[in-house]
Amino acid sequence: MKFGVVVFPGSNCDRDMQDALQNDLNQDVIMLWHKEKDLSMFSTEDCIVLPGGFSYGDYLRCGAIARFSPMMQSVIEFAQKGGKVLGVCNGFQILCESHLLPGVLLRNANQQFICKNVYLKGVGSDKALKIPIAHGEGRYHADEATLNKLEANNQIIYRYCNENGEITQLSNPNGAIRNIAGICNETRNVFGMMPHPERATSDSLGNTDGRVVLQSLIMGVQATVTEKAALVNF
């Protein structure tokens, strides 16, 4: 499995993602410039990653300009053919702007940029994962019909929780509706999340919970209650 990490003007987590995948998870990574279009070196078993940052300076809306970049046109086609796509933070915003994922990311409820460790847990798991966040527009929102559809299809992959795995209002850092931290599309090949798993994969940093999230892409399995952590079903 290969990973392609897209680099936009303003990306600031692209090298973090590359380092986490290459050095902590021993994966092959190819960096992709936003003006390029060629994804012929990737199969649908591979994964394209849209990293965090401030693509194109976050002008208009976060991710609104990146959605029209030459590389994103290829990424959209790649996803429509069944290729795996992961968007983290700004990457999640881009996926929503591209309509590869439903909903929008709004300004945080407290109207401030938030940078800290939070806890989240995946579907089918009681284990709380400690993952950093760093965003000003991370409040996931969608209408009731969309939310109910996400619930019915098990597309809500991660929710904010406390360190004991309890989903509470106090554990919601940005006011996201229904404590949503990450979702996937109906065909489960496109995934977006606001927290940064690539910032929690190194032993040197004292937190490796992010490996659980990234490893799920590699393993391609769904977590069960008996497994040691929540894995995303790609």
Residues acting as catalytic residues: 89, 196, 198
Pairing of strands 156-161, 139-141: unpaired
The two three-digit tokens of residue 181, written as one number: 């931290």
CA 190 from chain centre, in angstroms, equals: 9
**Longest Cα separation, the chain:** 45
Distance CA 141, CA 94 (A): 15
**At residue 2, what is the residue type?**
K
Residue 180: name the closest of 154, 214, 215 by CA.
Answer: 154
